[in-house]
Amino acid sequence: DAGVIQSPRHEVTEMGQEVTLRCKPISGHNSLFWYRQTMMRGLELLIYFNNNVPIDDSGMPEDRFSAKMPNASFSTLKIQPSEPRDSAVYFCASSPGQGSEKLFFGSGTQLSVL
């Protein structure tokens, strides 16, 4: 079975550019999560969708960040404009139920903003 699929694996961009990260959750999973990992702040929840509806976006840093889930099999995380401090590994995860279930993580996107 395919796991959570993220693309791209690596992204290098220049400050000010728009960045779009993509995620395909495991088929049949109802919940999707975006996490960001940095050395300083560890793993932070950015946003959590359940049945394609955002449930908790309190972790989205600022208006430069936006996330969508147009259908059950696809989600995007967009940063516009990007800044060097956005450099991090961005993980997408899905789970079969609501929060509190085991999360299945993708391989992550390593983002570098120069």
Partner 1 sequence: AQKVTQAQTEISVVEKEDVTLDCVYETRDTTYYLFWYKQPPSGELVFLIRRNSFDEQNEISGRYSWNFQKSTSSFNFTITASQVVDSAVYFCALSEAGYALNFGKGTSLLVTP
Nearest alpha-carbon partner for 29 in 111, 101, 97, 109: 97
Site string for partner 1, 24-63 (x = CB under 8 A): ---------x-x------xx-x--x-------x-------
CB 17 to partner 1: min, Å: 24
Site string for partner 1, 72-91 (x = CB under 8 A): -----------------x-x
**Which DSSP state fits 85?**
G
Q: Using only C-alpha atoms, what is the Rg of the chain? A: 13
CB 78 to partner 1: min, Å: 20
Strand-by-strand arrangement of the 19-24 sheet: 5-7, 19-24, 74-79, 65-71
Q: Is 99 in the site for partner 1 (CB under 8 A)?
A: yes
